[in-house]
């Protein structure tokens, strides 16, 4: 049985390292390392359980990679008007009428 605590700590560390820009962001590596140490010292799992959890988490990181998911552009569709949405006149177009 892989250690869910180690897998979770590994995924949290990876996502926090990706999302922060500080030089100290690499300290997040300590989270899964310390979690693995605590899990082994308390005799809840073996070392191999932590390694298997990380191996199982790696494909999940590839599937849920935030760089692969592209949000729709905020300006996409602004030039297309729907019939049920009234157009808002700007100050320059109001003068020309």
Stated pTM of the model: 0.63
How many domains is the chain built from?
1
Region 66-90: mean pLDDT is 58
Residue 11: inside a domain: yes
Dihedral sign computed on CA atoms, order 59, 30, 2, 5: negative
What is the span of the domain harbouring residue 42? 4-63
Residue 70: inside a domain: no
List helix spans (H) across 1-97: 4-19, 30-41, 47-63, 91-96
Residue 82: inside a domain: no
pLDDT score at 69: 60
In this predicted structure, the answer to whether residue 86 has a pLDDT above a threshold of 60 is no
Region 11-15: mean pLDDT is 91
Residue 45: inside a domain: yes
Does residue 57 contact residue 10 with C-beta atoms inside 8 Å?
A: yes
- Give the chain's mean pLDDT: 79
Residue 86: inside a domain: no
DSSP state of 23: G
Region 79-84: mean pLDDT is 55
Residue 13: how many other CB atoms lie within 10 Å: 20
């Amino acid at each position: 049985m892989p250690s869910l605590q180690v897998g979770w700590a590994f995924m949290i560390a990876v996502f926090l390292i990706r999302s922060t820009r500080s030089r100290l962001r690499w300290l997040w590596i300590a989270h899964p390392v310390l979690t693995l140490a605590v899990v082994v010292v308390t005799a809840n799992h073996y070392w191999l359980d932590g390694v298997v959890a990380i191996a199982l988490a790696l494909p999940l990181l590839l599937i849920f990679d935030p760089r692969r998911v592209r949000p729709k552009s905020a300006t996409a569709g602004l030039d297309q008007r729907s019939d049920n949405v009234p157009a808002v006149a700007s100050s320059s177009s109001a003068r020309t009428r």
